[in-house]
Structure 1
Amino acid sequence: MPSAQPERLVLDRLATPIGTALLVTDETGALRAFNWTDYEDSMQSWIARRYPAARRESGVSPARDAFQRYFAGDLAALDAVRWTAAGTDFQLKVWETLCTIPVGETLSYAGLAARIGKPSAMRAVGLANGANPVAVVVPCHRVIGANGSLTGYGGGLQRKKWLLALEGAAFRDAA
């Protein structure tokens, strides 16, 4: 869902059961970035590179209520969150396809590559998955290893485990 460069970005901080989340929305209310405070420096650098002309300010995100409801167990709450992301055509295709993985289900990298019609592009799919700037709304946490095990997650495996457990998804926990 690419769009024009935003003029203004609003950063909101939201306490969740797995840490303080950072929600960045533009002047239209679309989510542009999501991350955790322990990754704030890298997120701010990413924002500066992707949206150099955007004025940044603190405020309340229009997506806040949806995130609060999701973390409280309303698993459909994030469906209404509009998002837009700066990425390549391939990344956007991967991110849009991630949104087709239903709550409570998971998919392997191979399965995701097959879904986008590029079954041999597992590494590229993994890189695009890892570059997802609007995590949780674009559910990259639902991608797991082919054997059902938890694999890397930008927010940390403990958060991935918590998100999948909240959604009732099956996975193999090595810890």
Structure 2
Amino acid sequence: MSEQENIDYCRIAAAIDYIQTHFKQQPDLDEVAKRIHLSPFHFQRLFTEWAGVSPKKFLQYTSIQYAKNMLKDKQATLFDAAYETGLSGTGRLHDLFIKIEGMTPGEFKNGGENLFINYSYAETPFGNILVASTNKGICYMAFADDEKEALINLQNHFPKARFKQMLDIMQQNALYIFTHDWSKLHQIKLHLKGTDFQLKVWETLLKIPMGQLSTYGKIAAQIKNPNASRAVGTAIGSNPVAFLIPCHRVIQSTGTFGGYMWGPVRKTAIIGWEAAQTKL
């Protein structure tokens, strides 16, 4: 990413943060542009190029369509229908069905001993990302604002594995999610280690369609453990595969977006970007 692209990203991230924080006041174009020190004309053009929608429409998507409407609708959603019939979702993720395969007991016990992991860095609309894979599938994916720190976090996740910086076909297929028509993607396979409860939560997240949101309570109900909202939140917070397992689509029951392992501003940006993609 070039220096100018980094500057533009920071400006748009600041604008998104301001809109998300002040959405109840419905700030207009001039007000948000002033906050990031751009003219209204330049801000409108830059935001639309980056997010795919105007600031006004982004505000509407964020504050109304993709949070409040979903939470207030008491009828069955497309998400519920897809889940009950065993489908992966009704949006553009319908062909992105990911079969979760847990690691062997030996890999759990030995922290990845005798496990070979390839990893690489890539640029995304939301900043740099580190993606890692075994011969079974994607095992790790995290936004990498600091590449060295991201690699340390990967190594801590698999303390006895052997690592090689190399881009392989599994990583390439996973990264296509940011640039290609999702309906034409090949199946992406994940290779995850986690408890049965964590795997169940992560698998349920895959059923949230692109452009829609859910809550911690709804996820708990989906896994038939309605009193486990707090435990669900902990499992979501330990998600090792950013974006592919869409923990960013889970918000609080109050309608606020809540926290995110890779930053609340990035979470808001991703939700807005996905909202724009579903409207194209």
Query: Of the candidates 134, 143, 147, which is equivalent to residue 26 of structure 1?
Result: 134
Match of 1:137 in 2: 244
CA 1:139–1:99 in 2, change beyond 3 Å: closer, same or farther?
same
More strand by share: 1
Superposition deviation, residue 72 in structure 1:
2.6
CA distance in structure 1 between the partners assigned to 2:250 and 2:274 by the alignment: 13
Match of 1:35 in 2: 142
More helix by share: 2
CA distance in structure 1 between the partners assigned to 2:210 and 2:146 by the alignment: 25
Larger gyration radius, structure 1 or structure 2: 2
Superposition deviation, residue 40 in structure 1:
5.2
Contact 1:109 1:122 in 2 (8 A): yes
CA 1:50–1:19 in 2, change beyond 3 Å: closer, same or farther?
closer
Query: Of the candidates 110, 117, 125, which is equivalent to residue 17 of structure 1?
Result: 125
Superposition deviation, residue 44 in structure 1:
4.2
CA distance in structure 1 between the partners assigned to 2:222 and 2:177 by the alignment: 26
CA distance in structure 2 between the partners assigned to 1:75 and 1:166 by the alignment: 14
Structure 2 stretches lacking a partner, 5+ long: 1-100
Contact 1:79 1:137 in 2 (8 A): no
Match of 1:172 in 2: none
Structural RMSD (CA): 2.3
Match of 2:232 in 1: 125
1:64-122 CA distances to partner (integer Å, 9 max, x unpaired)? Answer: 43344322363446772211211111111101111111111110000111111111111
Superposition deviation, residue 62 in structure 1:
2.2
Aligned 1:155-170 pairs, distance under 5 A: 155-168=262-275
Superposition deviation, residue 25 in structure 1:
0.5
Match of 2:209 in 1: 102
TM-score (norm 2): 0.54
Match of 1:173 in 2: none
Superposition deviation, residue 131 in structure 1:
0.1
Structure 1 stretches lacking a partner, 5+ long: 170-175
Superposition deviation, residue 23 in structure 1:
0.2
The alignment of Structure 1 onto Structure 2 pairs a total of residues equal to 168
Superposition deviation, residue 48 in structure 1:
3.6
Query: Of the candidates 28, 47, 53, which is equivalent to residue 160 of structure 2?
Result: 53
Contact 1:14 1:64 in 2 (8 A): no
What SS class does the counterpart of residue 38 from structure 1 fall into? coil
TM-score (norm 1): 0.84
CA 1:74–1:151 in 2, change beyond 3 Å: closer, same or farther?
farther
What SS class does the counterpart of residue 94 from structure 1 fall into? helix
